[in-house]
């Protein structure tokens, strides 16, 4: 038997999977669903990566985008490649690129590539702009997966949201240098 190594999707680690090998492809099944599909590679001692499987890992280790084996030879679409090159020269650029790449999982390659092209057309290359463009393109706003990710980011343990104190409004208005409008 010939041996080729394949790296698994990060969410399947530590859980049993079923491998189905066909003449042209290999499918990885878990809990009755396909969690990975790869073209069959013949030969010994070859390692095949699917960079999309490793995007969740990048959220914890954005530096892996530059040096990680799954991302070394990753051919991104042209606009995404240009944004990646620009962000490499910016402090925190790896994290911004990871945010853009995470949108691939919720929005797809074509939508993210189009948003990157539009951002470059406007002369900007930040993740906030690209994600804003993607959000505007959705009829219902932000996709559910991204909305829940943003909600988790805003949730800090032990932190309480400030409460409005509307009882102070009268006190603030009485001290305002602008005279209150008394016309009906």
Distance CA 155, CA 177 (A): 39
Q: Looking at the whole model, is its pTM more than 0.75?
A: no
Residue that the structure tokens 């853009």 belong to: 100
Per mean pLDDT, which range of 82-91, 94-103, 129-138, 170-179 is the poorest?
170-179
Domain ranges of the chain: 5-48, 53-152
Strand duo 47-48 + 5-6: pairing: parallel
Judge residue 83's burial from the number of C-beta atoms within 10 Å of its C-beta, 0-12 exposed, 13-18 middle, 19 or more buried.
buried
Per mean pLDDT, which of 60-64, 75-79, 169-173 is the most reliable? 75-79
What pLDDT is recorded for position 111? Answer: 92
């Amino acid at each position: 038997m010939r041996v080729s190594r394949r790296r698994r999707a990060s969410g399947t680690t530590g859980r049993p999977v079923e491998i189905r090998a066909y003449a042209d492809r290999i499918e990885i099944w878990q809990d009755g669903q396909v969690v990975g599909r790869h073209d069959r590679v013949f030969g010994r001692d070859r390692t095949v990566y699917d960079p999309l499987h490793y995007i969740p890992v990048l959220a914890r280790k954005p530096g892996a985008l530059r040096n990680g084996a799954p991302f070394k030879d990753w051919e991104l679409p042209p606009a995404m490649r240009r944004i990646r090159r620009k962000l490499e020269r910016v402090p925190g650029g790896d994290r911004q690129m990871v945010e853009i790449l995470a949108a691939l999982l919720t929005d797809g390659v074509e939508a993210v590539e189009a948003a990157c092209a539009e951002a470059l057309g406007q002369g900007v290359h930040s993740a906030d702009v690209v994600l804003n463009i993607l959000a505007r393109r959705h009829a219902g706003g932000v996709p559910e997966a991204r909305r829940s990710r943003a909600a988790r980011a805003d949730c800090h343990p032990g932190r309480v949201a400030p409460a409005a104190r509307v009882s102070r409004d009268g006190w603030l208005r009485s001290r305002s240098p602008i005279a209150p409008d008394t016309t009906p």
